[in-house]
């Protein structure tokens, strides 16, 4: 008879073929919203995780999340783990990462203690401010970031100069970027031209999220992006949330994040 604290170091079952519906133990803990995958690997190595009543020290152990009992520090975890979704006003100057090798300030430095592990849904570069969503719900994160879902994200961009009709048309219809990829059509409108600044505020609505896309789009039409703020995701607006502040979203607001999204093709 095996004691509950026995240790089983397991390799993936069979001939290395992944059983249907199975995921690695480390990935399962991440998808349950318990911790990041890297943290899960450490917790497993430290003997804090049990599968089916026995300590498991192999992060790549395949489990069936719908059937196998998983405990962390003696407490059951699974898909029923409470989910949390936060809206955060990211200030300019913070990087969107857990830690930075160069010692730069991160969004987590501004967030402080939110009571549980959360990850950022997508990124805003260091010089971009505005609405950033953080959650422990991987399914929601995938729906918000997957290009197949076309979730609209609205930016206000101050660009150098005054874009003419041809530049606006190119931004709206899609244009090749510096790496040869072509952007999807976007909604673009002129918001105003600050007097004496030689620049123009544009509203740009994207349904994809290429790396530094708005800045690269501006460069492609000869109008450098001088300032960039994300003001809306789906129907969720930044509103009056002050820079560096965050708040938890209610169920209706979470649904609003996905407003305008499409179902992926089967």
Share of the chain above pLDDT 90, in %: 57
Asked if the model's pLDDT at residue 148 lies above 90, the reply is no
Confidence of residue 55 (pLDDT cuts 50, 70, 90): very high
CATH tag, 152-233: 3.30.70.1560
Dmax of the chain from CA atoms?
Answer: 81
**Which residues lie below 8 Å from residue 251, measured CB to CB, with a gap of 6+?**
none
Paired residues of 87 in beta bridges:
133, 247
Share of the chain above pLDDT 70, in %: 89
**CB 76, CB 83: distance < 8 Å:** no
Catalytic site includes residue 109: no
Alpha carbon distance 85, 263 (integer Å): 21
**CB 148, CB 209: distance < 8 Å:** no
Containing 134, the helix (H) or strand (E) segment is: strand 129-135
Choice among 125, 127, 164, 179 that is catalytic: 125
Most confident of 15-19, 69-73, 134-138, 232-236: 232-236
Give start-end residues of each CATH 3.30.70.580 domain in the chain.
85-147+236-257
Asked if the model's pLDDT at residue 7 lies above 50, the reply is no
CATH tag, 85-147+236-257: 3.30.70.580
Radius of gyration of the chain (CA): 22
* Rounded mean pLDDT, 241-254: 94
pLDDT digits (tens, 9 = 90+) for 206-225: 999 899 999 999 999 999 99
Instruction: Supply the DSSP symbol for 27.
Output: H
Asked if the model's pLDDT at residue 18 lies above 80, the reply is no
Give start-end residues of each CATH 3.30.70.1560 domain in the chain.
152-233
Alpha carbon distance 233, 98 (integer Å): 22
**CB 101, CB 141: distance < 8 Å:** no
Containing 51, the helix (H) or strand (E) segment is: strand 49-51
For 5, the token pair is: 């604290």
Q: How far is CA 24 from CA 31, 221, 222, in A?
A: 10, 45, 47
Alpha carbon distance 52, 4 (integer Å): 9
Give start-end residues of each CATH 3.10.290.10 domain in the chain.
7-77
Confidence of residue 100 (pLDDT cuts 50, 70, 90): confident
Confidence of residue 35 (pLDDT cuts 50, 70, 90): confident
Q: Which CATH architecture has domain 7-77?
A: Roll (3.10)
What confidence score (pLDDT) does residue 10 get?
44
By three-state DSSP, how is residue 213 classified?
Answer: helix
Q: What are phi and psi of 58, to 5 degrees?
A: -110, 105
What confidence score (pLDDT) does residue 11 get?
42
Alpha carbon distance 169, 158 (integer Å): 17
Name the pTM for this structure: 0.79
């Amino acid at each position: 008879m095996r004691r509950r604290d026995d240790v089983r170091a397991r390799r993936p079952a069979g001939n290395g073929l992944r059983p249907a519906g199975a995921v690695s133990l480390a990935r399962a803990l991440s998808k349950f919203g318990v911790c990041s995958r890297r943290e899960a690997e450490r917790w497993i190595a430290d003997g804090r995780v049990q599968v089916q009543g026995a300590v498991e020290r192999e992060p790549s152990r395949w489990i069936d999340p719908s059937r196998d009992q998983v405990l962390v520090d003696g407490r059951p975890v699974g898909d029923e783990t409470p989910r949390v979704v936060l809206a955060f006003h990211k200030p300019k100057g913070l990087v969107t990462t857990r830690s930075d090798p160069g010692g730069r300030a991160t969004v987590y430095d501004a967030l402080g203690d939110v009571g549980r592990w959360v990850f950022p849904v997508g990124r805003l570069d260091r010089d971009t401010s505005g609405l950033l969503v953080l959650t422990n719900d991987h399914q929601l994160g995938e729906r918000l970031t997957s290009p197949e879902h076309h979730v609209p994200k609205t930016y206000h961009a101050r660009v150098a100069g005054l874009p003419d009709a041809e530049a606006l048309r190119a931004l709206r219809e899609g244009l090749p970027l510096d790496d040869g990829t072509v952007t999807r059509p976007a909604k673009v409108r002129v918001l105003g031209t600050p007097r004496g600044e030689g620049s123009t505020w544009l509203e740009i609505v994207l349904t994809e999220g290429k790396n530094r896309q708005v800045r690269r789009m501006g460069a492609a039409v000869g109008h450098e992006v001088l300032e960039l703020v994300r003001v809306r995701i789906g129907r969720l607006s930044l509103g009056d949330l002050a820079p560096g502040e965050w708040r938890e979203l209610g169920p209706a607001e979470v649904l609003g994040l996905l407003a305008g999204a499409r179902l992926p093709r089967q």
